[in-house]
């Protein structure tokens, strides 16, 4: 059909609709109406034809009626007056002898969505509830829900609600389910339909009569029912048991969810329910519909969080099909990583090895990363594969392998040798900046063991002018300096050249500052440099245990089972625009574990540490400015907020030391008071990304507070509003220099002082370190996510404990 | 609950749009298309979120079938619903394509109207729906000038025999006009999908079969059908089959309408099929295949003196020779290099059982090194094996009761598809 423009089409259609000849021939008339609907569904505005269509609605031809109703319902809100005319026809139809006509009229009467018409609609709806034909009752029941949603604030007639409750016993199962749905909406304020014992058992007994959609809905409603006593509970469970094995995924998922919620206190029952549902879940994961497969895979990942061994023997089900879309392949690989055990590791790695050369680069990178994750437990096998992949000399593969090796070596220092021998004789020129960054890091850290390291670095330094990525440049600076420490003779000259270039010609401030810093550092003497740069750290095996996370309790995820969330979570990882750094337990070591970094914080720098513990990973980027921090802090005052007292003394180390330590775990310090001031405060923030909880990304702001013993008393007297103070204190905090802060801080102290008081008893009262009682951590988070918050807290306390034990030793010494 | 349902063509044309709850605006359609096309990498993930609105979509027949929801609904339900909707549209319109959806939009609106009310799924059973659906399907085949004047909305023939509405309430649906004219037909299909991985050394690393028995019924009334399976059919690993060719599956599930009272003793499924297509039984078998995998590959990959990559592939079909007709002993094969996928596409129209085919591919690859040879592979096979089930599941008999008046045709078809058949090199 040629496109004629809205107006022309409308004019033509109007002429056709009002042509008496057309009206006389009902086939022609209907065809014209057909055209109107077609034009409408193509997205053109044909609302101008409303009055013509209203006339067309008075007909005996059901097809025509249906067509006209489609039109009228779409445009009724634009023509409330004309719709009044339709109501008459509709009301007449409501008493038609044909039940189909009655239900049609009743349904569309409510679908007009005009609050003004509800008075005309109520009477036919009341009659409809008692209609002989089930199809009319179905429509009438939902009609009340529609009326309610149009005027959500008006009180629903009690008689109607009672009638609806009565209709739960309707012989037609769809009417029953519709009643549940309608009551859920109407009584939303009161928490939905009341499920007492008779209703619950009535629903359970009629479950088999419903179709799959009804069943899953009833099961969802039943979650609110709490059986009295174990006997009843087990009666219900045994009644539901067959549904766990349903080959309709919706029913199976709804049943499993109901099981999990009913048996939240009986972990053993939950576990056996998971085992029962394993078969159907696996079947869904192999369904013909890719979308269903994806949904099942996402849910299987949830299950694995609690029961990693559940699917171990079925690992072959998660081998990727050749023609599967990348998002399914990536999901399957994530599952495979979880399923690895001694028996299947060879097969899984062999399979993953096959995916590394996939045509789709994202898939191959995911596969390489997956091998790296397995490498934490099966280091040798994985290293062999990874180093073998380097031989392929494929740009994207090499880049991904290097990054994986860097991550692996950071956790498993024992693979240093293998990595060094892989780097030996390296001659590739990588284009990918992330891969180059990883290579430089490895060269810097293992430079003493790779013979060719200075030559490789020299190539990079010679080409630094054409280097675009600031990230790579800073990495290059650090690597060169590190190499200088281990092999000064070979490196000195080029290091000089690099520093000159970076200080004189570089435009990027971060790079320039860093170069300057190193330059000045070198002035302080080689020992200083060594201390700062090496810090003795090539790897952090202590992070190892953090990675093998213990199984979570089922209750952690039971609430999001069978909701859209697991799928959107999956999407956020798969659709991630940055394929090289998957969020799942990636651990990128800090490239600069030095004080130097601390003195010139460059929070925007994307190569800053990206540590993670298990699935929770913290990240300091995007950076927050002090102003933003303050704004958010105040904004979140009412939101997710948690105050916890940790029994941990104030770290005795310098503020810089603390900052560095926190940065190692990706927590950025924004401001702090000088040591030995009271109260002592630090402001921190971090971004968490947690692949497996509801909210994938959250921002956590935190304040560490310690009020000294002396300060406490005076402050308690000043009874002032804390909010005010906090705000001011905050501002100062961001204002960054410590001196100004002190006056403001006192207000803060009192609240904490009280809490301190409670805690005081529990802690050892060592006279000398009286002041270092406990630290109050105030955390604010956006969006709220308890799991992430807890994760953050545990990371933070670990760091603080490490610091305080460390410094305590020096203190006593 | 579902807020809106819409169908978009792959180019983003609006084909169908239905708003059930009036919660979200029509701009959601464009927003969805924007989001879908903005993502790279084949098909984007199934669920997307924009503000408060979740988009759940599937792709079928080259179209986007999208449901939006505000509440946190069950993904399984919505995805299954969309799948069911596509099946219904297919049942009613004959096939699933942009054209058929466009031509039958009135029918689809009608379907949607009956299937979903206020965002709640009412029924998707063809038995119930057939009483309500009035519009007749338009198949794309008959095309006359008369049709053209109406932009092909109705086939000319269907317009003439339109019946009065009251009598039409019990009129049966006319499913899949395009497929065949006969009304009294019933198809029972045993469809198996194989996913196989064969290692480089020829060892079978994985072999899974997902099978289903699908009934497609065109009979207006059929009270009961009895499907007899192999008597030695067994479920689960525990049952030792002794000797003889037992047919074993690991797990098995049935449609809820299937009555199994004779299943345990006689392996008979009793079902009252409704019109249209439905799956009566699904089963899975892992690893332990009763027969050898149907295809074996003997590859040899090397570099010739001229720096070209030589791939010599010998493919053997291990099926018994009778499984394909003998007439096509010289298949006309074709092969094509697909640089985009870095793949060689070798097409074999027919492959007789027991036969062996070989091919030699010479490829010019720039910068070919010894290491590059490792990168070659895997070989993936796509095939369809008619009249063959790899589990050995057979339908012994198919009985309809009461005996149908007039000629009725019962068809049993077996087919095995390759879901993913990978041979590593």
Facing B76 at nearest CB: one of A110, A245, A562:
A562
Tell me, rounded to whole angstroms, the distance of Cα A115 from its chain centroid.
Answer: 39
Nearest-angstrom CA–CA distance, A140 and A163: 12
**Quick one: A581 exposed, middle or buried, by C-beta within 10 A (0-12, 13-18, 19+)?**
middle
Which of B19, B39, B45 would best serve as a mutation to test chain A binding (most A beta carbons within 10 A)?
B45
Indicate the angle between helix axes A722-735 and A742-760, nearest 10 degrees: 120
Of residues B74, B123, B206, nearest to A316 (C-beta) = B206
Our CA angle for A19, A21, A25, nearest 5°, is 120
Residue A161 burial (CB count, 10 A): 17
Mean per-residue pLDDT, A486-510: 90
Query: Given this model, what pLDDT does residue A538 score?
Result: 60
Q: B304-323 pLDDT, tens per residue? A: 777 777 888 888 887 776 54
User: What pLDDT is recorded for position A762?
Assistant: 41
Mutation target for B interface from A213, A359, A384: give the one with most B CBs within 10 A: A213
Distance separating alpha carbons of residues A88 and A94, to the nearest angstrom: 10
pLDDT digit string, tens, across residues A621-647:
667 777 777 777 777 766 556 777 766
Question: What are the E-state strand segments in B230-355?
Answer: 233-235, 247-249, 251-254, 268-271, 276-286, 295-303, 308-317, 334-338, 343-347
Question: Across chain A, which distance is largest between two alpha carbons, in Å?
Answer: 108
| Mean pLDDT, residues A354-371 taken together | 89
Chain B residues whose beta carbon lies within 8 Å of the beta carbon of residue A177: 120
Tell whether A575 is within 8 A of chain B (Cβ). Answer: yes
Where does the pLDDT of residue A747 fall: very low under 50, low under 70, confident under 90, or very high at 90 and above?
Answer: very low
How far is residue A529's CA from residue A535's CA, in Å, rounded to a whole number? 9
Is the Cβ pair B193, A288 closer than 8 Å? yes
For chains A and B, CB pairs below 8 A equal 269
pLDDT at A361: 86
Q: Is the distance from CB of B50 to CB of B41 less than 8 angstroms? A: no
Rounded Cα distance, A565 and A298, in Å: 9
Q: CB–CB of A354 and B14 under 8 A? A: no
Is A197 touching B (CB cutoff 8 A)?
no
Instruction: Give residue A400's pLDDT band: very low, low, confident or very high (50, 70, 90).
Output: very high
Q: Give the whole-angstrom CA distance, residue A384 versus residue A288.
A: 36
* Model pTM score: 0.74
The alpha carbon of residue B83 is apart from the nearest alpha carbon of chain A, in Å, by 8
Question: What ipTM is given for this predicted complex?
Answer: 0.80
The helix/strand count (H/E) of chain B reads as 10, 24
Q: What pLDDT is attached to residue A368?
A: 94
A249/A284 Cα distance (integer angstroms)? 6
Contact flag B79-A248 (C-beta cutoff 8 Å):
no
- Alpha-carbon span A441 to A456, nearest angstrom: 12
Q: Are B201 and B185 in contact (CB under 8 A)?
A: no
CA pair distance A365, A800, nearest whole angstrom: 36
Residue of B nearest to A569 (CA): B47
Distance to chain B for A696, nearest Cα, Å: 13
What does each C-alpha distance from A567 to A55, A554, B5 come to in angstroms? 47, 18, 19
Question: A498-512, A524-538, B54-68: which range is least confident on average?
Answer: A524-538
What pLDDT is stored for residue A804 in this prediction?
Answer: 64
User: CB–CB of A459/A494 below 8 Å?
Assistant: no
So what's the pLDDT on residue B143?
Answer: 40
User: Which helix (H) or strand (E) segment is A65 a member of?
Assistant: helix A62-75
Between A711 and B261, the higher pLDDT residue: B261
How many Cβ atoms are within 10 Å of B141's Cβ, its own excluded? 9
CA-nearest of B289, B277, B210, B196 to A285 is: B210
What is the C-alpha to C-alpha distance for residues A621 and A608, in angstroms, rounded to an integer?
8
Which of 411-450 (A) contact B at CB < 8 A? none
Distance between CA atoms of residues A685 and A251, nearest Å: 43
Mean pLDDT of the region A614-619 = 61
Chain B interface includes A345 (CB < 8 A): no
Banded pLDDT at A725 (limits 50, 70, 90): very low
pLDDT at A460: 87
The pairing of beta strand B185-198 with beta strand B409-423: parallel
Helical (H) or strand (E) element with A704:
strand A697-706
- H or E stretch covering A775: strand A775-782
Find residues 94-123 of chain A whose CB sits inside 8 Å of chain B.
Answer: 97-101, 107, 110, 113
Question: What integer is the mean pLDDT of A530-559?
Answer: 68
The pLDDT of residue A763 is 40
Residue B242's pLDDT is: 52
Q: What is the DSSP letter of A533?
A: I
Instruction: Give the residue ranges of chain B where pLDDT is below 50.
Output: 141-173, 175-182, 323-330
Please tell me which of the candidates B83, B166, B253 has its beta carbon nearest to residue A245. Answer: B253
In the predicted structure, residue A773 carries a pLDDT above the cut 50: yes
Using one digit for the tens of pLDDT, what is the confidence trace for A416-471? Answer: 888 888 887 777 778 888 888 999 998 888 888 888 888 888 888 888 888 888 88
Query: Which residues are within 8 A (CB) of A733 and not within 5 positions of it... i.e. 6 or more apart?
Result: A626, A670, A671, A681, A683, A741
Which one of B81, B169, B422 has the shortest CB-CB distance to A98?
B169
> Between these two residues, B146 and A342, which has the higher pLDDT value?
A342
Element (H, E) at A660: helix A655-664
DSSP 8-state code for residue A534: I
Res. A397: pLDDT tops 70: yes
Helices (H), A463-487: 470-486
> What pLDDT does residue A549 have?
61
Alpha-carbon span A177 to B185, nearest angstrom: 35
* Cα A637 from Cα A740, distance rounded (Å): 24
- Contact, A121 vs A143, CB < 8 A? yes
pLDDT at A771: 42
Separation of CA B253 from chain center? 18
Contact A316 B208 (CB under 8 A): yes
Q: Phi, psi at residue A638, to the nearest 5°?
A: -90, -20
Q: What is the pLDDT of residues B170-215, one digit of tens each?
A: 223 454 343 344 467 788 889 999 888 888 888 888 888 889 998 8
Contacts A212 to B, Cβ<8 Å:
80, 256
The pLDDT score that the predictor gives to residue B78 is 94
For B106, the closest of A62, A67, A253 (CB atoms) is A67
Distance (Å, rounded) from C-alpha B233 to C-alpha B290?
12
User: A347 in contact with B at a CB cutoff of 8 Å?
Assistant: yes
Are the beta carbons of B14 and A570 separated by less than 8 Å?
no
Contact check, Cβ <8 Å, A327/B45: yes
- Please list, in sequence order, all residues whose beta carbon lies within 8 angstroms of the beta carbon of residue B419, skipping any fewer than 6 positions away: A286, A321, B193, B194, B195, B208, B210
User: Which of these, B388, B368, B255, lies nearest to B321 by C-alpha position?
Assistant: B388
Q: Confirm if A124 and A116 have CB atoms less than 8 A apart.
A: no
Residue A588 has what DSSP assignment?
B
Instruction: Report d(CA B423, CA B195) in Å as an integer.
Output: 11
pLDDT value, residue A641: 66
Question: Under an 8 A CB cutoff, do B74 and A325 touch?
Answer: no
Judged against a pLDDT cut of 60, whether residue A588 lies above it is answered with no
Distance of CA A126 to the CA centre of its chain: 46
pLDDT of A666 above 60: yes
Q: Tell me, what DSSP letter sits at residue A321?
A: P
Instruction: Write down the residue that tokens 């006309």 correspond to.
Output: B332
- pLDDT higher for A80 or A250? A250
* Position A216 confidence tier, pLDDT thresholds 50, 70, 90: very high
**Strand partners of residue A688:** A618, A698
Which residues 466-505 of A are in CB contact (within 8 Å) with B? none
Confirm if A103 and A136 have CB atoms less than 8 A apart. yes
Instruction: Find the angle CA(A750)-CA(A753)-CA(A756) to the nearest 5 degrees.
Output: 160
With an 8 Å Cβ cutoff, is A346 touching chain B? no
- DSSP labels for B56-82? EEEEETTEEEEEEESS---HHHHHHHH
Separation in Å, CA of A276 to nearest CA in chain B? 12
Q: What percent of chain A has pLDDT over 90?
A: 18
Quote the tokens at residue A430.
């990588």
Higher pLDDT, A389 or A584: A389
Q: What's the gap between Cα A474 and its chain centre?
A: 31
What distance in Å separates residue B406's CA from the closest CA in chain A?
32
Q: Is residue B409 helix, strand or coil?
A: strand
Residue B128: closest C-alpha in chain A? A135
């Amino acid at each position: 059909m040629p496109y004629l423009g809205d107006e022309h089409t409308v004019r033509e259609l109007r002429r056709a609709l009002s042509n008496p000849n057309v009206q006389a021939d009902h086939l022609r008339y209907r065809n014209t109406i057909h055209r109107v609907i077609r034009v409408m569904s193509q997205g053109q505005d044909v609302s101008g034809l409303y009055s013509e269509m209203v006339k067309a609605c008075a007909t005996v031809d059901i097809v025509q009626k249906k067509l006209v109703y489609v039109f009228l319902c779409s445009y009724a809100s634009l023509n409330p007056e004309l719709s009044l005319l339709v109501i008459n026809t509709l009301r007449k139809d409501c008493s038609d002898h044909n039940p189909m006509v009655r239900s049609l009229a009743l349904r569309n009467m409510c679908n007009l969505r005009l609050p003004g018409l509800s008075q005309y609609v109520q009477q036919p709806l009341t009659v409809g509830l008692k209609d002989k034909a089930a199809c009319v009752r179905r429509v009438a029941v939902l009609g009340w829900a529609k009326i309610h949603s149009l005027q959500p604030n008006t009180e629903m007639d009690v008689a109607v609600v009672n009638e609806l409750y009565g209709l739960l016993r309707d012989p037609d199962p769809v009417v029953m389910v519709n009643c549940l749905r309608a009551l859920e909406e109407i009584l939303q304020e009161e928490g939905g339909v009341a499920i007492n014992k008779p209703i619950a058992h009535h629903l359970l007994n009629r479950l088999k009569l419903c179709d799959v959609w009804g069943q899953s809905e009833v099961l969802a409603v039943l979650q609110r029912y709490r059986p009295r006593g174990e006997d009843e509970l087990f009666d219900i469970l045994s009644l539901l048991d067959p549904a766990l094995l349903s080959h309709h995924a919706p029913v199976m998922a709804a049943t499993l969810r109901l099981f999990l919620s009913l048996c939240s206190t009986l972990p053993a029952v939950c576990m056996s329910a998971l085992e029962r549902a394993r078969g159907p879940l696996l079947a869904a994961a192999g369904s013909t519909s890719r979308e269903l497969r994806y949904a099942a895979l996402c849910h299987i990942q949830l299950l694995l969080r609690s029961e990693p061994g559940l699917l171990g023997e079925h690992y072959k089900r998660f081998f990727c099909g050749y023609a599967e879309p990348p998002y399914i392949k990536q999901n399957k690989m994530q599952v495979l990583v979880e399923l690895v055990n001694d028996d299947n590791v060879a097969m899984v790695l062999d399979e993953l090895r096959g995916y590394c050369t996939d045509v789709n680069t994202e898939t191959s990178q995911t596969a390489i990363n997956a091998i790296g994750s397995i490498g934490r437990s099966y280091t040798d096998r994985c290293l062999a594969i990874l180093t073998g992949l380097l031989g392929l000399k494929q740009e994207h593969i090499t880049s991904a392998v290097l990054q994986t090796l860097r991550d692996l070596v950071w956790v498993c220092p024992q693979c240093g040798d293998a990595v060094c021998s892989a780097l030996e004789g390296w001659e590739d020129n990588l284009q990918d900046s992330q891969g180059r960054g990883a290579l430089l890091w490895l060269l810097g850290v293992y430079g003493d063991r790779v013979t060719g390291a200075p030559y490789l670095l020299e190539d990079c330094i010679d080409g630094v002018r054409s280097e675009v990525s600031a990230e790579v440049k800073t990495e290059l600076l650090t690597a060169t300096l590190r190499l200088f420490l281990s092999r000064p003779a070979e490196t000195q000259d080029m290091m000089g050249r690099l520093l000159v270039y970076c200080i004189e010609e570089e435009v990027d401030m971060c790079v320039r500052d860093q170069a300057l810093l190193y330059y000045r550092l070198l002035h302080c003497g080689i020992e200083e440099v060594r201390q700062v740069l090496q810090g003795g750290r090539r790897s952090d095996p202590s992070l190892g245990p953090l990675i093998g996370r213990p199984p979570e309790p089922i209750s952690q995820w039971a609430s999001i089972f069978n909701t859209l969330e697991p799928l959107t979570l999956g999407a956020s990882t798969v659709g991630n625009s940055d394929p090289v750094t998957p969020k799942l337990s990636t651990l990128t070591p800090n490239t600069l574990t030095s004080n130097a970094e601390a003195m010139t914080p460059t929070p925007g720098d994307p190569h800053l540490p990206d540590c993670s513990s298990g699935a929770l990973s913290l990240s300091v980027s995007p950076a927050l400015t002090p102003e933003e921090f303050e704004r958010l802090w105040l904004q979140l005052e009412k939101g997710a907020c948690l105050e916890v007292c940790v029994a941990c003394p104030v770290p005795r180390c310098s503020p810089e030391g603390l900052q560095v330590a926190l940065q190692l775990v990706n927590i950025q310090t924004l401001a702090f008071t000088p040591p030995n001031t009271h109260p002592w405060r630090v402001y921190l923030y971090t971004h968490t990304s947690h692949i497996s909880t509801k909210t994938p990304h959250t921002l956590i702001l935190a304040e560490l507070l310690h009020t000294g013993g002396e300060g406490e008393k005076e402050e308690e007297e000043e009874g002032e509003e804390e909010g005010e103070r906090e705000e001011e204190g905050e501002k100062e905090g961001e204002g960054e220099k410590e001196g100004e802060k002190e006056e403001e801080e006192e207000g803060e102290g009192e609240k904490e002082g009280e809490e301190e008081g409670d805690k005081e008893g529990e802690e050892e009262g060592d006279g000398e370190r009286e002041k270092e009682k406990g630290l109050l951590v105030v955390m604010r988070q956006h969006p709220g996510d308890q799991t992430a918050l807890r994760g953050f807290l545990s990371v933070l306390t670990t760091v603080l404990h490490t610091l305080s034990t460390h410094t305590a030793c020096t203190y006593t010494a | 609950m579902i807020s809106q349902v819409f169908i978009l063509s792959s180019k983003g044309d609006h084909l169908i749009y239905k708003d059930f709850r009036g919660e979200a605006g029509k701009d959601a359609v464009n927003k969805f298309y924007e989001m879908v096309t903005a993502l790279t990498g084949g098909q984007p993930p199934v669920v997307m979120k924009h503000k408060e609105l979740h988009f759940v979509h599937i792709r079928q027949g080259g179209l986007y079938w999208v449901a939006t929801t505000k509440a946190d609904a069950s993904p399984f339900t919505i995805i299954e619903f969309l799948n069911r909707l596509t099946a219904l549209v297919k049942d009613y319109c004959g096939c699933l394509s942009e054209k058929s959806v466009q031509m039958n939009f009135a029918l689809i609106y009608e379907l949607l109207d009956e299937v979903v009310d206020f965002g709640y799924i009412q029924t998707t059973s063809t038995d119930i729906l057939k009483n309500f659906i009035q519009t007749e399907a338009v198949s794309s085949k008959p095309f006359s000038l008369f049709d053209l004047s109406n932009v092909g909305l109705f086939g000319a023939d269907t317009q003439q025999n339109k019946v009065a509405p009251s009598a039409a309430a019990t009129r049966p649906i006319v499913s899949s006009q395009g497929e065949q004219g006969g009304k009294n037909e019933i198809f029972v299909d045993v469809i198996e999908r194989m996913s196989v991985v064969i290692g480089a050394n020829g060892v079978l690393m994985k072999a899974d079969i997902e099978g289903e028995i699908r009934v497609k019924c065109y009979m207006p009334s059929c009270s009961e059908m009895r499907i007899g399976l192999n008597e030695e059919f067994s479920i689960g690993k525990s049952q030792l089959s002794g000797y003889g060719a037992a047919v074993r599956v690991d797990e098995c599930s049935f449609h809820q309408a299937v009555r199994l009272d004779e299943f345990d003793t006689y392996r008979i499924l009793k079902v009252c099929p409704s019109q249209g297509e439905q799956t009566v039984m699904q089963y899975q078998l892992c690893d332990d295949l009763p027969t050898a995998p149907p295809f074996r590959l003997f590859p040899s990959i090397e570099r010739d003196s001229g720096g070209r990559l030589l791939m010599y592939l010998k493919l053997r079909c291990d099926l018994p020779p009778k499984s394909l007709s003998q007439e096509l002993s010289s298949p006309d094969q074709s092969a094509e290099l697909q640089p985009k996928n870095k793949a060689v596409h070798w097409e074999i129209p027919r492959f007789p059982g027991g036969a062996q085919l070989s091919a030699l591919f010479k490829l010019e690859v720039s910068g070919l090194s010894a290491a590059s040879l490792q990168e070659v592979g895997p070989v993936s096979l796509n095939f369809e094996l008619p009249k063959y089930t790899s589990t050995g599941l057979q339908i012994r008999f198919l009985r309809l009761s009461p005996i149908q008046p007039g000629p009725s045709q019962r068809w049993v078809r077996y087919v095995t598809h390759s879901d993913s058949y990978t041979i590593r090199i």
